[in-house]
């Protein structure tokens, strides 16, 4: 039986990033309706976990304690603590700072993986493509506003979020050859939920039935839980297994581009010529980075 075409996995990674780039609108809507970031995370991951259970029945635990610990690490680094650090960063630093720093994750992933795995090492052509895509991402994030204000606490939290995603990528890479993507994704959701729960001892869960009954609230929660979490995490983990960690993670460079396009459509944010130049550099850089 032939392996599926790699182009399917490129499309899976692309679809995931497009959806993730649009989630900020849903998150802003939910926050404006009285939900906290931690409550949003718990609800979206709980929905994703419940949704994936019928598809991922059978195996309950990993083959050994080391692999189970890696799944716990993935749930923390790609789930609970990642989302907390990213959202906390936005409280202390401008969104442009946070977006720019978090989107450096592909750079750090490429560096770490090139040191650890020969198969993940980039050629000069690929390295130039990554550098070009990164430059384009900077222009998109700034969107013509060349002002970055130093905010040490927020910037450090954003930097921590970027590195948490690197650790998540490394954990998934170590697990992908031994376990199906469905099993890994289900365990990531489970450990993400378990590790966010202690926070509610300090900030009690306060989402009422009246809030959840609002169509705008449950509609956005369904999008975040079923599409952005259950489906996209599954597709992303499968793409990392088939394409490699570095190639898949490079798609994160598209995230700010999707965000500004969504903002332009939903909240009338202006797109500048600088951002368009950045978009062109991202696309060109990623094309070069995907070439062997």
Q: pLDDT higher for 142 or 250? A: 250
Residue 118, pLDDT above cutoff 70: no
Q: What percent of the chain has pLDDT over 70?
A: 75
Q: pLDDT higher for 142 or 230? A: 230
Q: CA distances (Å), 112 to each of 107, 132, 241, in order?
A: 9, 19, 17
Residue 146, pLDDT above cutoff 80: no
What pLDDT is attached to residue 1? 43
Q: Give the confidence band of 25 by pLDDT, cuts at 50, 70, 90.
A: confident
Q: CA distances (Å), 4 to each of 9, 20, 95, 138, 238, in order?
A: 8, 24, 39, 34, 11
Is 282 in contact with 154 (CB distance < 8 Å)? no
Q: CA distances (Å), 168 to each of 136, 158, 171, in order?
A: 25, 15, 5
Distance CA 228, CA 102 (A): 18
What pLDDT is attached to residue 119? 63
Count CB-CB contacts under 10 A for residue 67.
18
Average pLDDT over residues 214-219: 94
What pLDDT is attached to residue 236? 93
What pLDDT is attached to residue 289? 59
Distance CA 232, CA 222 (A): 13
DSSP, residue by residue, 52-101: HGGGS-S--S-SSHHHHHHHHHHHIIIIIHHHHHHHHHHHHS-HHHHHHH
The terminus-to-terminus CA distance of the chain in angstroms comes to 25
In the block, tokens 């959202």 appear at 87
- Helix residue ranges, H only, the chain: 6-32, 37-52, 65-75, 81-92, 95-102, 105-116, 124-142, 152-176, 181-196, 209-212, 215-222, 232-243, 245-249, 255-267, 273-289
What pLDDT is attached to residue 65? 95
pLDDT digits (tens, 9 = 90+) for 260-288: 676 666 655 566 677 667 767 766 676 66
Q: What percent of the chain has pLDDT over 90?
A: 40
140: helix, strand or coil: helix
Residue 122, pLDDT above cutoff 70: no
Distance CA 209, CA 206 (A): 10
Quote the pTM value. 0.82
Structure tokens at 226: 């079923």
Q: Which of 18-32, 70-84, 257-271 has the lowest mean pLDDT?
A: 257-271
Is 238 in contact with 177 (CB distance < 8 Å)? no
């Amino acid at each position: 039986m032939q392996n599926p075409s790699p182009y399917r996995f490129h499309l899976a990674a692309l679809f995931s990033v497009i959806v993730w780039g649009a989630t900020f609108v849903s998150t802003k809507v939910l926050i404006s309706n009285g939900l906290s970031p931690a409550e949003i995370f718990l609800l979206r991951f709980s929905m994703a976990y419940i949704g994936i259970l019928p598809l991922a029945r059978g195996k309950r635990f990993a083959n050994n304690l080391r692999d189970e610990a890696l799944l716990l690490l993935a749930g923390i680094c790609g789930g609970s603590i990642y989302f907390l650090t990213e959202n906390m960063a936005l409280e202390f630093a401008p969104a442009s700072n946070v977006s720019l720093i978090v989107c450096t994750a592909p750079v750090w992933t490429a560096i770490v993986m090139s040191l650890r795995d020969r198969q993940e090492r980039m050629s000069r052509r690929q390295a130039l493509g990554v550098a070009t895509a990164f430059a384009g991402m900077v222009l998109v994030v700034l969107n013509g506003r060349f002002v970055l204000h130093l905010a040490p606490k927020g910037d450090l939290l954003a930097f921590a979020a970027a590195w948490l995603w690197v650790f998540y990528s490394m954990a998934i890479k170590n697990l992908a050859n031994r376990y199906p993507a469905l099993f890994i994704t289900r365990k990531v959701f489970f450990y993400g939920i378990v590790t966010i729960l202690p926070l509610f001892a300090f900030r009690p869960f306060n989402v009422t039935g009246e809030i959840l009954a609002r169509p705008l609230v449950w509609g956005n929660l369904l999008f975040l839980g079923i599409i952005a979490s259950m489906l996209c995490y599954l597709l992303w983990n499968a793409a990392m297994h088939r394409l490699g960690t570095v190639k898949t993670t490079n798609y994160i460079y598209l995230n700010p581009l999707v965000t500004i396009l969504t903002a332009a459509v939903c909240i009338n944010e202006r797109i500048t010529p600088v951002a368009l130049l950045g978009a062109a550099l991202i696309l060109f850089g990623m094309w070069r980075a995907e070439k062997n």
